[in-house]
Structure 1
Amino acid sequence: MYHDNFDRSRQDKIEQISDFVKRTGKQIKLRVCWESPGGSNCCECEKCSITMIALMLENLDPKKFGFYFNDDIYKYSKKCLLEGKWDFIHDDIDLWKDIKKHVSDSDEREFFKWLKSYDLNKSIGKYNTFYNKIRRKTLATYKKIKA
């Protein structure tokens, strides 16, 4: 694992990937999930979802980057944000705010229009406890060991 461009936001990095893929025609498999055993992306956790949304904001197909989500990711992400399915802390919500900041006023896609108008601070604290974060990480580790 190699971390680069600490001065750039996550969405800025996705834009870099988008530029590279469009310029070279090469595909990149992204591995962002720590919840999925076996080295793939679970395509359900907040980290996978936010990455898929970030790719789609750049008009990229997440399936070409190692994400295999069969449902409507826009509908799923909106539901998770509204119902507090993900364990948000302020740093996590900042990633969504960064995507929101990158949404163009002229973007006509329904999800991005909704996201631009949604107060993301409403999603903080609905399911946000230290215990639940530890529980989720413990279950993910257990699944890896069991697999």
Structure 2
Amino acid sequence: TDEEAKMWKETHKILDPDIKLTVTCVRVPVFVGHSESVNLEFDRPISPDEARALLRDAPGVMVIDKQEHDGYITPVDAAGEHAVYVSRIRKDPTVENGLSLWIVSDNLRKGAALNAVQIAQLLDETGIIKPASGYRSITV
């Protein structure tokens, strides 16, 4: 589908043109939200606990991973929130050094527009760009 091609192209553009990737996109009737089941393979072993710790330190990411029934996030839970939620972090036994994750976000809140604003804020905070004279910085 067009969405699968878009996701494939954007991942290669943003991360690495040589990354191996397969994508399946399915349209489902939800009011808001993007949900992804992601399988990752790393160069070295990484435990689910190590991944949870790294993700908890990532700005804009919330880890909701209770490892029990209903211990994961759904699009309904993420509605109206700016964060990207990660759940169901577990070993993927089909590949060496693999992990599987469930990722959900409110695409109306955390989408291209908010991402662009947050990138501009980071560039401003780090001094890479400066507001034009007469304009002031904003915070979202």
**Structures share a fold, TM > 0.5?**
no
| TM-score for both structures, normalised by structure 2 | 0.28
| TM-score for both structures, normalised by structure 1 | 0.28
Higher strand share: 2
Higher helix share: 1
**Larger Rg computed on CA atoms:** 2
